[in-house]
Amino acid sequence: MEQEQQGSVPGQQNNPPQTPPAPPTPPVPPAPQQAPNAGKSAPTGNDVEDNKIWAALSYISFISIVVLLAKKDSAFAQFHAKQATVLFVLSLILWLVPIIGWMINLIVWAFAIVGLIQAAMGKWFKIPVVSQVAEKLNF
């Protein structure tokens, strides 16, 4: 007579134990956002490092216009040069308004100094309000 294995029922096949279903795959995280003004020329790995001096210099008076024209291939330099140009034009307008304009101009200069430092450190620093106006500039 045939010997039956322990735990098996006569007349049924011996099925191997079933493995539990695989856990669901985690959701795919969203793609990282592009750097500001990256539409014209996407920044390369060296864009920031190669152009942070130009970006910082753009916050000094009319040099922002020179940087806008000379560094069209750098999204980082263009980003800071556009902000610096808005600050430069605002500073010129405020200089024409005696006393109150001159006092407000001190704030503009403070933003220019902060922008210069941030650009020299290689950061995409957005100056409040100024960055919104600068993003609309197309040079």
Tens digit of pLDDT for each residue in 46-81?
999 999 999 999 999 899 999 999 999 999 999 999
Q: State the Cα–Cα distance between residues 65 and 85, nearest whole angstrom.
A: 7
108: Cβ contacts below 8 Å, ≥ 6 apart: 87, 90, 91, 94
pLDDT tens digits, one per residue of 95-139? 999 899 999 999 999 999 999 999 999 999 999 999 999 999 887
**What value does the mean pLDDT take over residues 40-49?**
68
Q: Alpha-carbon distance 44 to 102, whole Å?
A: 40
4-17 pLDDT per residue, tens: 455 555 555 666 66
